[in-house]
Amino acid sequence: MKRFAVPIMILIASSCFAQTARDYYNEIYAVGGLDRIAASYVCFNEDLAVKTFFVFTENKYLRDYMISNRTFERLSKAQQAELKKDLLIFRGYDKGVPLATKDLLNADGSSWVSDNGMLDKKTPMRVRFSISWETLRYKRSVEVLNSDQTINSVVSAYGRCERVSPTIRQTGQ
């Protein structure tokens, strides 16, 4: 029986450290560490094995806040023009670690789309985000583009978003 005690203890201990994306989110939320600009909604992939989540907000809230406290008028004309566009501001988290940059997606009909980026040295791509505001179900896609900007292929992920509770003030960068 003693020879089974060590393997059983290892299995029990390792299962205590298995975290889901929601566990990582709860941990960061509890200490107020979410990106304070982007944390209006939090979204989780429907595949529970995925350990990433993202937060986002509509820039109109930031713009309205800046107008109300008179900081908007202090911005350069170029910065004001950017803030007048309808954008979504995203911050992703991988196993609870914030990704290095925020992503900005521009309104594109009934969805939101990133600027084009490069998948590799020759392959352009962009990210498209669609959300049902009634159910908060989302589709997030990577569109791989041809050189003429037509879509070559699409890889999509689906999930659900929810409002970030204002109970704990978020102060992360």
Domain of 96, CATH number, reads 2.40.128
Q: Is residue 1 part of a domain?
A: no
70 belongs to a structural domain: yes
Domain count, the chain: 1
Number of helices (H) and strands (E) in the chain: give both, helices first.
4, 10
Is residue 48 situated within a structural domain? yes
**pLDDT over 70 percentage in the chain:** 90
62: nearest Cα among 93, 88, 42, 100 = 88
pTM to 2 decimal places: 0.83
170 pLDDT more than 80: yes
In whole angstroms, what is the distance from residue 68 CA to residue 147 CA?
44
Domain annotation covers residue 3:
no
Q: What's the half-sphere exposure (Cβ side, CA atoms, 13 Å) at 161?
A: 25
How does pLDDT run across 34-92, given as a tens digit for each residue?
999 899 999 999 999 999 999 999 998 888 888 999 999 999 999 888 888 889 999 99
Give a yes or no: residue 45 inside a domain. Answer: yes
Residue 91's alpha-carbon distances to 26, 84, 122, 149, in angstroms, are 16, 20, 26, 26
Say which DSSP state 35 is in.
Answer: B
Q: Does a structural domain hold residue 120?
A: yes
Strands, E, within 23-150: which ranges?
Answer: 41-45, 52-58, 87-94, 97-98, 103-108, 111-113, 117-118, 124-131, 137-145
Q: In the prediction, which pLDDT does 82 show?
A: 84
The reply to whether 13 falls in a domain is no
Amino acid at position 140, single letter: R
Q: What percent of the chain has pLDDT over 90?
A: 73
User: Residue 120 sits in which domain range?
Assistant: 19-163
- pLDDT above 80 for 148: yes
Q: Is residue 75 part of a domain?
A: yes
